[in-house]
Chain A
Amino acid sequence: MSTFGQSGGRAGGSSGRSSINIGAFFKDWKPTTVLVVLIWSLTNLIQVVPNATVKDWQFLSSLSGEPLRREVMQRVEKQPGYEKMNDYQKEFAIKSEYENAAMGNNIQVLGHIKGHTVFTNLKLGLDLRGGSQLLLRAIPAPPQVPEITNEVMTGVKTVIDNRINSLGVSETLVQRAGKDRLIVELPGIKDPQQAKDRIGTTALLEFKEMVLTSDGGVTWKDANLTGADFKRAQANRGAAGNWEINFEFKEEGGKKFGALTKRLVGQYIGIFLDGQPVDRGPDGRPIPIERYPGVRVNEPIMDGRGQITGSFTSEQAVDLQQKLNAGALPVPIEILEERSVGATLGQDSIQKSLVAGCVGIAAVMIFMVAIYGLPGLIADLALILYTIATLAIFKTVPVTLTLAGIAGFILSIGMAVDANILIFERTKEELSRGRNLYVAIENGFSRAMSSIFDSNVNSLIACAVLMVFGTSIVKGFAVTLAIGVAISMFTAISATRTMLHLIPKEWGLFGHRFDGKKVGQPASKEAV
């Protein structure tokens, strides 16, 4: 099984080194490419930063929302030359502080050297770092919006984006999915309920006028004035200590509001949020519509300002303010799917996947050496290059690593080795036909290539389909597998081949000794 036992050249180990085929190294593009890829991957993947900086990042990332904003502003203001900065520079400084906060959440420490932390920062999915993922669906609201069009969805996305940003969670993601869906990702969120409350409501503010019915009852008639006519809203503590929301209309809306109030002096108008009276009862819930008195219009309001009063708590008032400022959703939405993973489960998953990955790779490496001896070791080196290069690509793209994605990656390791096995088996055959070492390796490669290529194209077909039709979990898996398959072709073609050529002729390969002449001795078959 081993190549060492029979090779006569082994005796002169040191003199054997001189015969290493250096010429092959520079013969074509491959060796150089391998080196470039290796260096690029390592520099891209591994970062070294002083411990104190990392601690500071982690401190920043432990904050969220308002405290984070305050801390960031303080830091930026303390920067030298802050007074001289223009707006663009200030914005840049703030952005980089936020990036540091995001960094603290996302680093995987590899070790510490002399007061420096060695780490990599792969992007981890919600199932690994904890967080919530929501799948939202926009529901058509006839007669105004009978159908969810592209424009409607763009509107929905903008509003949801604004609302999520007002939560102050870093690295949130709002993404279109299909015709009428949105995926919202909230990593590391501590209170998913608050997020859902804020996302889920339409926040459609409407003004209606009170109309008395013939039987003495009351109905509310649409006054064609909505929250979309607002310029901005602001929660304030009123004179009586109650919380109220002051609002200002846009020019157009102000005119409409003026005309409406002029027409209805002495009568009542109602303000409704998502179809319910905006006023809150003592229990903090909207008061029932049949008991809602509305607001008496004392005089025409021509300056386009107004206020909403009621028994708001400070949270409710601020929440309403933010909803109004973020704008109303053009259509109602529903939460189709919610997946929340606590940080503990995520940590547990990372740890287990890491252990499983390392054990898996190590076992495959041992297996390869056991089967092929020295060439097996070469395959192992190619495998290490493969692993590093793939992770570097994951970081650069960036690919969000989920649990399923890691499974895909580990599976692709098995497939990466397959290319090596195919090449080795072919090379072995060529050797037993009596070809010389160089020709055998080259033939082995070219013969193995057709099957490597065809089989990998098929795997890529499956991956492509998964990317198109899969849910987000499935997509993560497909992307990692596809990248893995593509890189495995590269490492097999370039790295394995280069290293095989580096084996001294005296050592032979797969038990075939090679002295530079054709050895046509089928007897060596037994040795394999």
Chain B
Amino acid sequence: MFSKVNVDIVKYRKIWFGISLLITIPGVLGIIACMSKYHAPLKPGIDFTGGSILQYQFDKPTSLESVHKVLEDCGFHGSQVQQATISGQEAVVMRTKSIDTEAQKAALDKKLTEELGTFKAISVDKVTATIGPELLSNGLIALLVTFGGMVAYISYRFKFDYAACAIAALAHDIMVLVGIFALLGYFVGTEVDSLFISAVLTVIGFSVHDTIVVFDRIRENAKYVGNKVIDPVSKVEYKRTFGDIANDSVNQTLARSIYTSLTVIITLLALYLLGGVTTKDFVLAMLIGIISGTYSSIFNASCLLVWWRAQKSTSKPRPA
């Protein structure tokens, strides 16, 4: 389907980098906005800040205000109360600061039953504030260890400059993902939880997976660098550069990149549209990351590698 397509990807690299910038800049702005609003680059969920999310299904219809009033009466100031639909039934979602003792929770449940009637607890999540920083530092360590492991592996199987470019493409994908979630957090209030960290790590896995397939092709074709070929249009003989090889390699793997990404996107879309409420944001994060990962492995990683090689060869004094 794509076998006749031959885009000069390396030639237009400024355009591709430009598109990447266009996407990342609003993301950076979103992160700055989140910093001023939530004092964190993303809107942190209770996994990081500590707090409680209670999802209750009341047997009698209840107004959100009345639930809110009970929360205030029990000393949970600044709580949020929302309506949600779970398995086809209305439910009330209460977000409060951390409920530290069991007695507080028991008092709240008692008061809710007294004022608003009986209810069924659909889910209860309570996280103390102590655990958040640890989760974050664990996440960051995981991120760095993954980076390190991948750089080591790619350097071993390929070369260090391949590894550096793969990681740069990866950093781009993480920026896009984090940026979009910062914007979502600022405008829609999307929170990130510990699943978000695993979404980021999955995107890392996928993005490098994708980039490696392209690099594998470049590595295989690299032996043709310097071969003399005749330009079909101008009939002039020239030596093939690393850029030409990279371009061919990207084009040769283009069909595969797009097909593979499409299959992953199809499954994720099915999960996003039909899957449970609990993992919606998680799946959305993976979707964004994988689309960005496909883009960066086609357009950014190899262009970066060509640019890197060009820099290196010009900086070396050429033999006369």
Interfacial residues, chain A to chain B (CB-CB below 8 A): 1, 127, 132, 135, 137, 192-193, 196-197, 200, 334-342, 344-345, 347-349, 352-353, 355-357, 359-361, 363-364, 367-368, 371, 403-404, 407-408, 410-411, 413-415, 417-418, 421-422, 425, 428-429, 447, 450-451, 454-459, 461-466, 468-471, 473-474, 477-478, 481, 525, 528
A336-B216 in contact (CB<8A): no
Distance, CA A193 to CA B109, complexed state (A): 11
Query: Shortest distance in angstroms between B253's beta carbon and chain A's nearest beta carbon?
Result: 8
A458-B208 in contact (CB<8A): yes
A466-B276 in contact (CB<8A): no
Check if B229 is an interface residue, CB within 8 A of chain A. no
Task: Give the chain A neighbours of B123 by CB distance below 8 A.
Answer: 339-342, 345
The answer to whether residues A528 and B198 also contact, given A193-B102, A352-B274, A471-B135 and a CB cut-off of 8 A, is no
A334-B128 in contact (CB<8A): yes
Check if B202 is an interface residue, CB within 8 A of chain A. yes
Task: Give the chain A neighbours of B259 by CB distance below 8 A.
Answer: 371, 421
Q: Mind listing 26 A-B residue pairs with CB under 8 Å?
A: A137-B130, A192-B124, A193-B102, A337-B126, A339-B124, A342-B120, A345-B123, A349-B278, A359-B274, A360-B268, A360-B271, A364-B263, A371-B259, A404-B195, A410-B267, A413-B267, A415-B206, A415-B264, A421-B263, A447-B220, A450-B220, A451-B217, A455-B212, A456-B209, A461-B150, A462-B208
B195-A348 in contact (CB<8A): no
The answer to whether residues A425 and B282 also contact, given A451-B216, A465-B146 and a CB cut-off of 8 A, is no
Q: Is the interface of A mostly helix, strand, loop or mixed?
A: helix
Distance, CA A364 to CA B264, complexed state (A): 8
Query: Shortest distance in angstroms between A163's beta carbon and chain B's nearest beta carbon?
Result: 15
Check if B37 is an interface residue, CB within 8 A of chain A. no
Query: Shortest distance in angstroms between B258's beta carbon and chain A's nearest beta carbon?
Result: 10
Distance, CA A127 to CA B142, complexed state (A): 24
Task: Give the chain A neighbours of B271 by CB distance below 8 A.
Answer: 353, 356-357, 360, 407, 410
A458-B153 in contact (CB<8A): yes
Task: Select one of B142, B157, B260, B286 contacting A454, CB under 8 A.
Answer: B157
Check if B266 is an interface residue, CB within 8 A of chain A. yes
Distance, CA A411 to CA B267, complexed state (A): 7
Distance, CA A173 to CA B291, complexed state (A): 39
A470-B279 in contact (CB<8A): no
Check if B107 is an interface residue, CB within 8 A of chain A. no
A345-B270 in contact (CB<8A): no
Task: Give the chain B neighbours of A429 by CB distance below 8 A.
Answer: 252
Task: Give the chain B neighbours of A334 by CB distance below 8 A.
Answer: 128
Query: Shortest distance in angstroms between B16's beta carbon and chain A's nearest beta carbon?
Result: 22
Check if B55 is an interface residue, CB within 8 A of chain A. yes
Query: Shortest distance in angstroms between A525's beta carbon and chain B's nearest beta carbon?
Result: 6
Task: Give the chain A neighbours of B145 by CB distance below 8 A.
Answer: 465, 468-469
Task: Give the chain B neighbours of A461 by CB distance below 8 A.
Answer: 146, 149-150, 153, 205
Check if B62 is an interface residue, CB within 8 A of chain A. no
Query: Shortest distance in angstroms between B4's beta carbon and chain A's nearest beta carbon?
Result: 8
Task: Select one of B126, B130, B194 contacting A474, CB under 8 A.
Answer: B194
The answer to whether residues A200 and B276 also contact, given A465-B149, A474-B195 and a CB cut-off of 8 A, is no
A404-B126 in contact (CB<8A): no
Report B279-306 CB contacts with A as 1/0, cut-off 8 Å. 1001100100000000000000000000
Query: Shortest distance in angstroms between A345's beta carbon and chain B's nearest beta carbon?
Result: 5
B126-A363 in contact (CB<8A): no
A422-B263 in contact (CB<8A): no
Distance, CA A352 to CA B208, complexed state (A): 30
Can you list the 9 inter-chain pairs with the closest CB atoms, starting with the nearest?
A414-B264, A360-B270, A462-B205, A348-B87, A451-B216, A360-B267, A469-B142, A349-B276, A356-B274
